[in-house]
Copies of this chain bind each other. A is one copy, B any other.
Amino acid sequence: MSVGHTAVTTEPVVRCGDATEDCGIREVLDRIGDKWSVLVVVELARGVRRFRQLQRATPGISQRMLTLTVRRLERDGIVTRTVHPTVPPQVEYELTAVGHSLTHLVKALADWSAEHRDVIARARREWDAEHPGAGIR
C-alpha cells in the first residue's frame, strides 16, 4: 500500500501517562462529538442567530435536537441565550469567548478532514473490496 510512514518507535505526540487518563479528550468529544453541536457552532461562528435561523441553517435537525443542542452548549458556557420578551418571542444565540476559541478547534478538525478525506476514502474503498460482505459499516 506504500503508506511508508517513517518508523516511529516512540513519538508520543499526545503525552499523557496512559490512555487510561484519556487526557480529557473524552470530555471534548462528549461535548462536540454528537451529531449537531459542531454544525450549530459553525453557524454561530458567523454571527448571532435566532432559533429558527439556526434550524434553517442546519438542514435535517429536528426542533427537539436543536433545543437539546443549544441547551447543552449554553450549559457548558459555549453559547449565550438571550430572550427578548417580545411577541412573538425572540431568542438569540451567540458564541461566548469559550465558544469562539472552540471554533478554532473546529477549524483544525475541518482542515484535517479536508487534507485526508481523499486518502481515507480510498483506503475505505480498498478495504471494502478486500473484505466483501463485512458488516462493519
Query: Which of chain A's residues 117-133 have a Cβ closer than 8 Å to chain B?
Result: 117, 119-120, 122-124, 127-128, 131
Chain A contacts to B: CB under 8 angstroms: 1, 3-5, 8-16, 18-20, 22-29, 31-35, 38-40, 42-43, 45-47, 57-59, 68, 71-72, 74-78, 80, 95-110, 112-117, 119-120, 122-124, 127-128, 131, 136
Can you list 29 residue pairs at the A/B interface with Cβ under 8 Å?
A3-B80, A3-B98, A5-B99, A10-B46, A10-B47, A11-B100, A12-B46, A13-B106, A13-B107, A14-B107, A16-B110, A19-B40, A19-B58, A20-B57, A20-B58, A25-B42, A25-B109, A26-B38, A26-B39, A27-B113, A28-B112, A29-B32, A29-B33, A33-B33, A75-B124, A77-B123, A102-B116, A105-B108, A108-B108
